[in-house]
A and B are shown apart, each in its own frame.
Chain A
Amino acid sequence: MNKEAEKELEERLLKRVAKKDGSAFEQLYELTSKSIFFYLYRLLQDRETAEDLHMEVYAAVWKNAQGFKGKSRVKTWMFGIARNMAMNELRKHHRKTLRIDKPVRDENSFKAYKEFERHDSIQAALAQLSYKHREILDLVFFHGQSYSDISKLLAIPENTVKTRVYYAKAALKEEICKTGG
């Protein structure tokens, strides 16, 4: 399915979700859950918290579907909900132990993924980036979000998105050089 068709399908489903159509909600979940979960997981670097927030995001989507104004893609709107929740969670933990810019390693994370992360030089380097840089590269290269959508999601001007992508790539290059990849 191409991006445009996917976007239209998401919108159609969300309209039905707004009318409390359970089957549409399930379809929307099937279509988006992996992305949303992975986005949360990458931000939080903690499986359990990502799972909890993943549920909360969908509960919020069900509850607030009527509030979607169509200013961005449905998935971007959902990323926005996920991001707000993740940031709140990180802030909570930040006061206690965590550092937002360099998330702590999670012992419970999935082994296969961690193995891959260790063996792929780019992923190993990505893991060393600040959350801001990692997030923007994830959004561009993994989630396929446009600069315009990212601008809405992060509430920053589109030019700042471009600049941030530029610096994120530079930081990534530097990390790769450090690790000799």
Chain B
Amino acid sequence: MEQRETEPIKDNFENRIEQSYQKMSENIPQPPPDAFSRIMETIGEQQEKQVEEPQPSMLSRVMTAVRNIRPVPALGWSVAVVQFAVILFLIFQPQTNGTNGLKTLSIDGSADRSIVLNVVFEENAVQKDINRLLNRVEGVIVGGPGNNGVYLLKLRKGEDFVKRLNTIENSGVVKFAGEKY
């Protein structure tokens, strides 16, 4: 219906063309008689190949895609422009705290939030007692034992730091505890 509305009524010339095509249809070349069986063979071969060849992994597909990227000058220039824009942004971004925008551990006190102690445990101290002490003082062994049996104990530095230090010293399982410098 739509076709009739959009397509014009055929004129004499179009009728001539159509007649010529009708005559042509009697003479058109045919696909080879064995074409269908060959198609089925091709399909069968393709299916066999698919079974034989495992699907490439995501990583290898990504690697192939990267390898296939052609060195296009426009791409190179685009990367250069983006890099330049990032550099400009880093240079001219708003400065904070009078620190030239550079953030170091000392600015927000991150470096001061914990302290590392050198600790030597009593010879007769048992694992169970040591663990209990570590839980009480919220400490973590981060190194050791060294040559003299020195362990590195990391403690959170808070208001109760001195109290926890005293707990360590008076625990009975620690022979020595001192700040590591």
Taking Cβ atoms with an 8 Å cutoff, the residues of A that contact B are 22, 26, 29, 33-34, 37-38, 41, 47, 50-51, 54-56, 58-59, 62-63, 109-110, 112-113, 115-117, 120, 122-123, 137-138, 141-142, 146-148, 158, 169, 172-173
Alpha-carbon separation in the docked complex, A113 to B20 (Å) = 13
Kindly provide the distance from the CB of A119 to the nearest chain B CB, expressed in whole angstroms.
10
Taking Cβ atoms with an 8 Å cutoff, the residues of B that contact A are 2-3, 6-7, 13-14, 16-18, 20-21, 23-25, 27-32, 35-36, 38-40, 42-43, 46
The 3 A-B residue pairs with the shortest CB-CB distance in the complex, in nearest-first order: A122-B20, A37-B31, A116-B27
Residues of A within 8 A of B3 (CB): 146-148
B31 touches A116 (CB 8 A): no
A116 touches B23 (CB 8 A): yes
A34 touches B24 (CB 8 A): no
Chain A interface mostly: helix
Q: A47-B29, A110-B29, A113-B28 are in contact. Are A33 and B23 (CB under 8 A)?
A: no
6 further A-B pairs in the complex, CB-CB below 8 A; given A63-B43, A148-B2: A41-B29, A55-B39, A59-B42, A138-B21, A141-B14, A147-B3
Kindly provide the distance from the CB of B40 to the nearest chain A CB, expressed in whole angstroms.
8
23 contacts between A and B (CB under 8 A): A29-B39, A33-B35, A34-B30, A37-B30, A41-B29, A47-B29, A51-B35, A54-B35, A55-B39, A56-B42, A59-B42, A59-B43, A63-B43, A110-B29, A116-B24, A117-B24, A123-B20, A137-B17, A141-B18, A146-B3, A146-B6, A169-B13, A173-B13
Alpha-carbon separation in the docked complex, A143 to B170 (Å) = 99
Residues of A within 8 A of B31 (CB): 33-34, 37, 51, 54
